[in-house]
Chains A and B, each alone.
Chain A
Amino acid sequence: DQQVKQNSPSLSVQEGRISILNCDYTNSMFDYFLWYKKYPAEGPTFLISISSIKDKNEDGRFTVFLNKSAKHLSLHIVPSQPGDSAVYFCAATGVGGANNLFFGTGTRLTVIP
């Protein structure tokens, strides 16, 4: 039962262009959403988050958009850099905090120099 879905397993983008990673969820009780970035042979590292009371959160080159009615969120990276090449996981949680953190299957982003 995959409650958080990332339907694109991979994405390739030219350096300097915008990367858009998408995530859909099914559980309307989720109220906090996170993006994690993972390099090979390393653990996931927290990137950016958004609460359900917001529809946008920005941190430097990274912006997360939340569309609650569509149960959809997206991560925009602009401009994309080769160092952004990694697997990006979307995660969501509701009541219960981190022990109820549901992850998507990840999207592998490749930024082409």
Chain B
Amino acid sequence: NAGVMQNPRHLVRRRGQEARLRCSPMKGHSHVYWYRQLPEEGLKFMVYLQKENIIDESGMPKERFSAEFPKEGPSILRIQQVVRGDSAAYFCASSYFTGELFFGEGSRLTVL
């Protein structure tokens, strides 16, 4: 039973480009969460999605960031027009209901 799969593991973008991070939850999990970890900080909640629905995006920056979890395929976290401050590790987690979270290995975004 594969765990939460995130890709790419590392992504380098120049300022102004777009970053797309993908997350496939554990089999049978329909709840997906995205967290961001800035350098020297803890993980901060960004968004919580169920299939085709955004349940809570209170932690998501209002501009340039969007997330989706389509009926088929992985959840996508999209960052448009990236800036240096977006450089961080982005972790996806999934759960069966709202129980224990299982985290992926993270995607490390570096903005040059």
Spell out A's residues near B (CB within 8 Å).
2, 4, 6, 36, 41-46, 89, 91, 96-106
Contacts and interface: CB of A to CB of B under 8 A. Distances in A.
Contacts of B12: none
B42 A46 contact: no
Interface of B: 4, 6, 31, 33, 35, 40-45, 48, 55-56, 91, 93, 95, 98-106
A104 B42 contact: yes
13 contacts: A41-B106, A43-B91, A43-B105, A44-B91, A91-B43, A96-B56, A98-B99, A98-B101, A99-B55, A101-B45, A103-B43, A103-B44, A104-B42
A105 B40 contact: yes
B98 A98 contact: yes
B42 A43 contact: no
Contacts, number: 57
A36 B43 CA distance: 11
Contacts of A96: 56
For the complex, would chain B's binding face be called helix, strand, loop or mixed by DSSP majority? strand
B103 A44 contact: yes
Contact of B42 (A45, A98, A99, A106): A106
Contacts of A106: 42
A38 B45 CA distance: 17
A98 B101 CA distance: 7
Contacts of A6: 42
B106 A43 contact: yes
Given A97-B98, A98-B33, A98-B93, A43 B104 contact: yes
A38 B57 CA distance: 25
A89 B56 contact: no
Given A98-B33, A98-B48, A98-B93, A103 B101 contact: no
B55 to A, nearest CB: 7
B4 A43 contact: yes
Contact of A105 (B42, B48, B98): B42
Give 6 closest A-B pairs by Cβ, nearest first. Answer: A43-B103, A99-B48, A103-B42, A97-B98, A103-B43, A105-B42
